[in-house]
Amino acid sequence: MIIENYAEQYCLKVSGKIKEIIKSKKLTQTKVVELCENAGVPVSQGTISNITRGAKEIKLSSLISLCKGLNINIIDILSDDDTENKTILKYDDKMYKGYTGTYHTYFFPTISNKEELLHGILDINEPNENGKCEADLKLYTGEKKKNGERDEEIIKYYTGEFAISGPMQSAYCLLNNSQTDEQCCFIFHHFYILNNELKCRVAAAVTTSAGGNRRPTIHRIYISRDKLSVEGEKYIRGQLRLNESEILINKNAYAELLATEEIPQEFTTVFKKEAKVESYYNVVEARLSNCGLKKEEFARVISLLRDYSVAPKYNKVSMKTDEFVFDNYENWKEKCHQQSDD
């Protein structure tokens, strides 16, 4: 849609911001009316509906009342700064074909003492009138809170935008949790889909760790059209680790694998032939800090030690990873219809 009139374009941008905020707060129009009344600035549902549909004219008094009722800064709403929009890529229906719709997401918790995969529901919506694909994530945290006599699961909601860069061959999902002001992003490889839809992908995610000590965190995330079966969750874990082409496994861990899982003899034979047995030092950095060196000298030695270590310089979600999860997509997804016994 081409809008030649700057005033109309500006009002549409303001309307879009109000709509996104109401959506991110999970509010109905009736609830917004109630919030405004409670704040002493009544606004009719008709006015709210008109604005969220993309009003070309907005009364300043209505906007002031809405901002007060929603407890948001009117300066942010009125800002005409396009810096944010410049980071979002333009919609091209050929690139986005097969990518919109609902996905299941899985990733490791960012707290070291938790092992169960976190599950979420990701919706990538069709482009709106401004050519943007909105994205919504509903994340089941696995945590509980008291709601009267019942334990209720804590669910986190994220809203944002999905965009594709043709030159970078990458798809980007930028998400925000308005309650905590958490920003996160994940990226996966893009390819053109002609007559089907995207089934699954492994993405690289950048976020903030959970828990009391919030730190920048990098991890992988699996997105799938279908929910994983219990067996599928077990096997996707290996693809969610920050893998490289070489597999480095502790001897004791390998022995535990053989003792607890069914590993074919053909595989173990080839493994013994191809695997190199090497010796490594395993030490926690904090345990070396009492060596008596001055802070500057200790930093120098630790930096050299880490540079000589086997720690990778980066981690890439390889083509082999994408092919691996795609090839096993049907085997790992949850079967919706089980055959009944005769």
Position 83 scores a pLDDT of 46
The rounded distance, in Å, linking the Cα atoms of 116 and 246 is 25
Classify residue 318: in a domain, yes or no: no
CB-CB contact of 198 with 322 (8 Å):
no
Determine the pLDDT at residue 90.
Answer: 54
Q: How far apart are CA 185 and CA 172, in angstroms?
A: 7
Residue 37 lies in a domain: yes
d(CA 193, CA 42): 49
pLDDT value for 337 = 46
**Position 336 in a domain:** no
Which of 208, 240, 272 marks a domain boundary?
A: 240
Predicted pLDDT of residue 341: 41
Query: Which residue range forms the structural domain that includes residue 294?
Result: 245-311
- Let me know whether 157 and 208 are in one domain: yes
Residues 144 and 187 in one domain: yes
CA distance linking residue 273 with residue 275, whole number of Å: 6
Is 267 inside a domain boundary? yes
Q: CA dist 159 to 124, 163, 166, 268, Å?
A: 10, 13, 23, 46
Domain containing residue 221: CATH number: 2.40.128
Instruction: Kindly state whether residues 156 and 189 are assigned to the same domain.
Output: yes
Task: Please tell me whether residues 227 and 124 are part of one structural domain.
Answer: yes
Residue 205 covered by a domain: yes
| Nearest-5° Cα angle at 138, 331 to 126 | 85
Residues 229 and 142 in one domain: yes
Token pair belonging to 206: 């950048």
Angle between helices 6-24 and 45-52 (to 10 degrees): 110
Domain co-membership, 96 together with 202: yes
Closest CA to 173 of 209, 139, 214, 124: 124
Are 95 and 215 part of one and the same domain? yes
List the structure tokens of 28: 């109905």
Are 201 and 297 found together in one domain? no
Same domain, 26 and 150: no
What is the per-residue burial (b if ≥16 Cβ within 10 Å, else e) of 62-81? bbebbbbbbebeeeebeeee
How wide is the angle at C-alpha 50 spanned by C-alphas 47 and 53, nearest 5°? 145
DSSP per-residue string spanning 219-272: EEEEEESSPBPHHHHHHHHHHHS---SS----HHHHHHHHHHS---HHHHHHHH
Boundary-marking domain end, from 45, 80, 115 = 80
Instruction: Answer yes or no: is 326 within a domain.
Output: no
123, 104 in Cβ contact below 8 A? no
* Non-local CB neighbours of 297 within 8 Å, separated by 6+ positions: none
- Residue 96 in tokens: 């986005």
Q: Check whether residue 277 and residue 221 sit in a common domain.
A: no
> Residue 2: what pLDDT?
43
Q: Per the domain annotation, does 31 fall within a domain?
A: yes
CATH number for the domain that contains residue 71: 1.10.260.40
Same domain, 131 and 219: yes
Does residue 332 lie in a domain region?
no
Question: pLDDT at position 3, please?
Answer: 45
In the chain, what's the furthest Cα-to-Cα distance?
77
Answer yes or no: do 235 and 91 share one domain: yes
Amino acid at 194: L
Find all residues with CB under 8 Å of 34, minimum gap 6, and list them.
Answer: none
Q: Which one of 32, 53, 80 terminates a domain?
A: 80
Residues 6+ apart with CB under 8 A from 275: none
- Ranges of residues in the chain with a pLDDT under 50 are 1-3, 83-88, 337-342
121: three-class secondary structure by DSSP: strand
* Count of structural domains within the chain: 3
Q: Which of 100, 250, 71, 73 is nearest to 161 (CA)?
A: 100
Q: Which helix (H) or strand (E) holds 151?
A: strand 150-165
